[in-house]
Structure 1
């Protein structure tokens, strides 16, 4: 049986005058070519998100996240396909080490800052929830936690988490874990059959995953839009769209330059239209996400061989694109803190100021943490050291969360707390404004002080179709009280049961 060959990726045909014509036998990839238009697209994406969260008139600025998804799918698939084409295999440890070195140190620093800001400026009633969010964020599953909370009746009015923006990073990290494993499986299958690893197999895999995800996205968005927004399964097709372009780049490069440029301008227009016409009430992602996703694919296609759209290559956008990850990490905690300091009703001016000030720690994080560790020769030359760094960064987030939980004030067992009497006129005991930790239940437990019926699943959610029935108290007492209704009726369950 002949030895199997590596993945064959034919080169794109370079046009005369192309300043970054590929020289290897692989299709253009992020590893071989630095694309200024990609950097500019990163800048546009993060600026849309920042403007949206700052309350500026960009009601659909959240589509910047979808632009990032397509970019990640395109760039990561380009790197993976390039390595398989050159070596005939994909070294998973080295791949994960690169990702850890690139993403985790800056994220860990941001999480430590979030914990510190929570202890300084957020009410103690939120500390435990934030700590749980930080744990989920450190393990890159916070999007699933947020999805569960979105359908939790008791959490409907909860303030946004200071790490809520990590949901999109969690989706990308899960993609970084799963997609290389699928590629390795395809390579192993091809070797077992004694054949080449075909591009067609990769394309088929991407289409299968992307198609199923798109169908599920449309279905779940219609049925449960809050949950659909966060879960990975409704977003995978967006990353798959970028991956598909990366795999078909050699075919795209054969198209006329005029057609590619025109498609790029159309794509940029689609992203802009979505950003300025979509709003919070737009069913999303579903089919609505096709506008920014398709637009991003067209913009990327325009730069497969040519330099890309000129507005995206301008010098002013390059540093913003380079620091887009750090800008994204730091802006949202600043918005949450500003909202808390303004008693939940910040002005647009205050939000803009918060986002603007967040650029300072973001710039410091980029220059002192993200860039140095990402480009460190010592780490780059040692997969083990890079993975160790990633593990350490994960532990930093977990430890910070544990310290925040430990700092939650609780009522000492040996204290006879006066409870509501601290509010009575003429009270001569401890000052209520300085000794609130003596209250029973403790303030930190106020959000958990709810009727027992929720714990036992006696309260149906908005999508439920079957009544839920529970019995409390002593059925032999001879007195039966039927309590039927919503949460307003549910508040009477504890005293009636007693």
Structure 2
């Protein structure tokens, strides 16, 4: 290729308004996180800017040298990205050891490793589709998902432009602009269509994965390639610039970004960012460029990456320590501290490595910091294992009776609650461990078989969402005692209800469960949670009862309707670990944890067809909700039992199931709380 002729003619000049746009995006992310608990769309702006800047850099390198080699490209990126990232991960790990509750420390350690090696977005994508994991408190490193996507995008762009160079040389193309435009347009369209599709089908998964976000980078690349030939007058430039900025600021207020992105709604902040950059083509007296190009804006824009990384770390530890949302002053302090730390980090850590001429020395420093991070990760993990190895021991019924402490009014000596705080979140029902619980993406019926699987006296089907599934431990214990077979037929986030659209994934699964039940008449009893404690909507509860009546009337099966357990908007074990039992009990009792009370009272009084069981009494001591009963931690998050506590229901459930199975006469007592 002729090195005297540009592969692609692009406008190569410093665009101060882009630096200003970067700080606007970073501050929007911080402001919406701190004061509104919402997502702003600022990350999407970072993506389009990154696409613009890296495309500009790559094309300029090719135009200048005629070559495009991997190591110079990747070493430059690593020297720019890794120093800040490794330093923040290092600081976060140290702070985590001293300030984070054990319930969240393990998650943070995993995310630290994922952040260092740029795969955290995929880790979050798969955990976000796990309904149970979605209820866990966010870690101080969760925001590194965006950085992971950025790193993966840079690798994709290297492959893309290597391919461009190959085609240019093979076919002796005199100008690669048409080729690059074609490839970037194709990538944008394919990625955008896939983003729309996957957002509709599985939005939590779509939010984090790389392929639904590539179009945002590609739009930045297209802007880079074509910006120089787009001509607008001063008036239009002034108008579209301010429209873009105002629209960008309002993104988080107008849209629930965390639940709608990255589908077609993401076009809003993308368009706003493109309008702002496009308006910068023309110098106007009253244009947005003058504001964004102010020295203070460009200076802050240079550290916007650090501000983005620091603000979430500081906000997370503030919430862990103070246990409340930041007010005006504390929020401003978080932002100012983020700015200060970013200046320090850029000046004394990032700049010396980025600007150093000796690559060997620079990467030696990075290697040392990386080694310290890995040593810390391993050390924290090992210390956690050692510290909590006692939680693996067999617990005796005498010391840890759980539900029986209430059911039998047993006097017990106080012990350290089990499962241990470090393991409480992972104390899952067997169906979640052996993968017999259906996930959010699939609609087929998965059936787990437990209890006595041969020569059993009866078959009991546990059906519904995770609020049915968390009863599995107790039903298995009861089945072992009575000689029953248990079938677990559950799907995360999906009630056994008539309230879903037929063509929705949840509706399809419910239909498939109905078909399964109709073809398995050997099932003696169908069990499902029949209310939602988090909702006071009679419609929601009615749809669940309607479905159970269908099972009773049309399939001829007995049905046990279980009331939902008390539900909170905070993680009970995390609250318990941080503030102790007394304060947690107060917070639990100050919260309206059973919004289904009125509905359940009417249902229990008037319905004489379905068996029903209200477990509320087993979540209280002295008529107060409590986080621990019989020395067993009740909750694993905000609304699910630990499997250990569920198993302690074994004796209670065995008695009630025996009554149902062994008493076939008509007119028997259907309210099992009376049994």
Measured against the shorter chain, the TM-score band is: 0.7 to 0.9
Q: Given the alignment of the two structures, is residue 27 of structure 1 paired with residue 10 of structure 2, yes or no? A: yes
Q: Aligned-pair distance for 1:246?
A: 0.7
Q: Aligned-pair distance for 1:362?
A: 2.8
Q: Aligned-pair distance for 1:405?
A: 0.9
Q: Which residue of 2 aligns with 1:319?
A: 299
Q: Which residue of 2 aligns with 1:23?
A: none
Q: Given the alignment of the two structures, is residue 231 of structure 1 paired with residue 231 of structure 2, yes or no? A: no
Select the residue among 353, 367, 372 that pairs with 1:373.
353
Q: Given the alignment of the two structures, is residue 293 of structure 1 paired with residue 283 of structure 2, yes or no? A: no
Which whole-Å deviations, capped at 9, do the CAs of 1:471-493 have from their partners, x for residues lacking one?
A: 12442243343232233332332
Q: Aligned-pair distance for 1:397?
A: 3.5
Q: Which residue of 2 aligns with 1:72?
A: 50
Q: Which residue of 1 aligns with 2:382?
A: 406
Q: Given the alignment of the two structures, is residue 127 of structure 1 paired with residue 105 of structure 2, yes or no? A: yes
Q: Given the alignment of the two structures, is residue 337 of structure 1 paired with residue 345 of structure 2, yes or no? A: no
Contact residue 82 and residue 366 of structure 2 kept, 8 A: yes
Contact residue 339 and residue 346 of structure 1 kept, 8 A: yes
Q: Which residue of 2 aligns with 1:346?
A: 325
Query: Which blocks of at least 5 consecutive residues in structure 2 are unaligned?
Result: 481-675
Name the CA distance, whole Å, in 2 between partners of 1:414 and 1:454: 19
TM-score, length of structure 2 as denominator length? 0.63
Contact residue 232 and residue 282 of structure 2 kept, 8 A: no
User: Relative to structure 2, which stretch is displaced further, 105-114 or 260-269?
Assistant: 260-269
Name the CA distance, whole Å, in 2 between partners of 1:99 and 1:386: 12
Q: Aligned-pair distance for 1:129?
A: 1.4
Q: Which residue of 1 aligns with 2:222?
A: 244
Query: Which blocks of at least 5 consecutive residues in structure 1 are unaligned?
Result: 11-25
Name the CA distance, whole Å, in 1 between partners of 2:369 and 2:215: 29
Name the CA distance, whole Å, in 1 between partners of 2:259 and 2:391: 50
Q: Aligned-pair distance for 1:410?
A: 1.8
Change (3 A) 1:413 1:454: closer
Q: Which residue of 1 aligns with 2:87?
A: 109
Q: How does 1:142-161 map to 2 (within 5 A)?
A: 142-161=120-139
Which whole-Å deviations, capped at 9, do the CAs of 1:426-482 have from their partners, x for residues lacking one?
A: 85x9xx6xxx5xx65433121121111112222223443222111124422433432
Equivalent position SS for 1:466: coil
Equivalent position SS for 1:165: helix
Name the CA distance, whole Å, in 1 between partners of 2:392 and 2:437: 36
Q: Given the alignment of the two structures, is residue 219 of structure 1 paired with residue 202 of structure 2, yes or no? A: no
Q: CA RMSD in A?
A: 2.9
Which whole-Å deviations, capped at 9, do the CAs of 1:273-294 have from their partners, x for residues lacking one?
A: 3244223576222111111111
Identify, as 1 or 2, the structure richer in strand. Answer: 2
Q: Which residue of 2 aligns with 1:21?
A: none
Equivalent position SS for 1:472: strand
TM-score, length of structure 1 as denominator length? 0.84
Name the CA distance, whole Å, in 2 between partners of 1:352 and 1:224: 36
Contact residue 3 and residue 63 of structure 2 kept, 8 A: no
Based on CA coordinates, which of the two structures has the bigger radius of gyration? 2
Q: Aligned-pair distance for 1:351?
A: 4.4
Q: Given the alignment of the two structures, is residue 490 of structure 1 paired with residue 466 of structure 2, yes or no? A: no
Name the CA distance, whole Å, in 1 between partners of 2:292 and 2:270: 17
Contact residue 233 and residue 282 of structure 2 kept, 8 A: no
Which structure has more relative contact order (CA 8 Å, sep 6+)? It is 1
